[in-house]
């Protein structure tokens, strides 16, 4: 089992280009697994972890409701945003500058074969990261992602998650609001959940700007420990 994960920081990159790149890496792992089975080989499958920041974009998961996007095509254009219907789970979300997006493209057979556990580990990596900033966060029953103020009238989402998996290979991932412009969430019903707010690390800490590279380092540390993995830079 190959527990090494190749880390790539793509910087600021168009959503569609990044999605196509994810698909390419995903297909490479799946094709290798099929070949291993067909030819009775034991070639190790690679794992990847992509960090990226996207220009303003809204994405709708395969089970999502288009009515949760509250903008017309012209309004999207006026806001400098794009929209894509994509093949992950979950409903609608926003990506943009000041948000840390992580796409783990893993062969879970290198780690464990349990999608539920995989999602809980993704959430836990973020929960532990936020704890380092003095923030207590957690899960909201029946709602994937990471929340603050769970069980109170002031519940607010700080990290959205949506994944796709096939043959135990994952793609898509999480989006943590660090210094994001939260005004863009006003144009959607985030994740299809009405009546709950969205927040960011910057807002919760009451600071001018959070060091995003520092946040990434913390996420990787907790991800590595949870998955018993090592990163290759």
Active-site positions read 191
Q: How far apart are CA 210 and CA 138, in angstroms?
A: 21
- Paired sense of beta strands 230-232 and 197-198, if any: unpaired
> What gap in Å lies between CA 168 and CA 197, rounded to an integer?
33
Q: 3-class SS at 208? A: coil
What is the H or E stretch that residue 27 is in? helix 15-39
Binding-site annotation, residues: 88-95, 160-162, 173-175
Residues annotated in a binding site for substrate: 88-95, 160-162, 173-175
Q: Which residue has the tokens 């412009």?
A: 181
Secondary structure class of 49 (helix, strand, coil): strand
Nearest to 143, CA basis, from 128, 159, 129, 165: 159
Task: Find the helix or strand (DSSP H, E) in which 95 lies.
Answer: strand 92-95
State residue 213 phi and psi, 5-degree precision. -65, -35
Can you tell me the distance from the alpha carbon of 184 to that of 202, in angstroms, rounded to the nearest whole number? 15
């Amino acid at each position: 089992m190959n527990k090494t994960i190749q880390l790539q920081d793509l910087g600021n990159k168009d959503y569609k280009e990044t999605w196509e790149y994810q698909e390419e890496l995903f297909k490479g792992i799946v094709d290798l697994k099929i070949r291993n089975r067909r030819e009775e080989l034991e070639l190790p499958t690679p794992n990847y972890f992509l960090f990226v920041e996207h220009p303003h974009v809204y994405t709708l998961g395969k089970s999502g409701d288009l009515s949760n996007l509250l903008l017309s095509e012209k309004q999207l254009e006026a806001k400098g945003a794009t929209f894509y219907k994509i093949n992950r789970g979950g409903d609608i979300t926003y990506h943009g500058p000041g948000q840390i997006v992580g796409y783990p493209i893993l062969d879970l057979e290198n780690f464990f074969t349990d999608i539920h556990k995989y999602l809980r580990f993704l959430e836990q990596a973020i929960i532990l990261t936020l704890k380092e900033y003095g923030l207590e966060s957690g899960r909201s029953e029946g709602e994937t992602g990471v929340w603050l103020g769970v069980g109170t009238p002031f519940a607010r989402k700080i990290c959205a998650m949506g994944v796709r998996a096939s043959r135990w290979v994952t793609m898509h991932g999480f989006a943590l609001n660090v210094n994001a412009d939260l005004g863009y969430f006003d144009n959607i019903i985030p994740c299809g959940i009405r009546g709950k707010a969205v927040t960011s690390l910057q807002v919760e800490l009451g600071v001018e700007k959070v060091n995003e590279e520092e946040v990434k380092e913390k996420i990787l540390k907790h991800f590595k420990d949870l998955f018993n993995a090592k990163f290759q830079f």
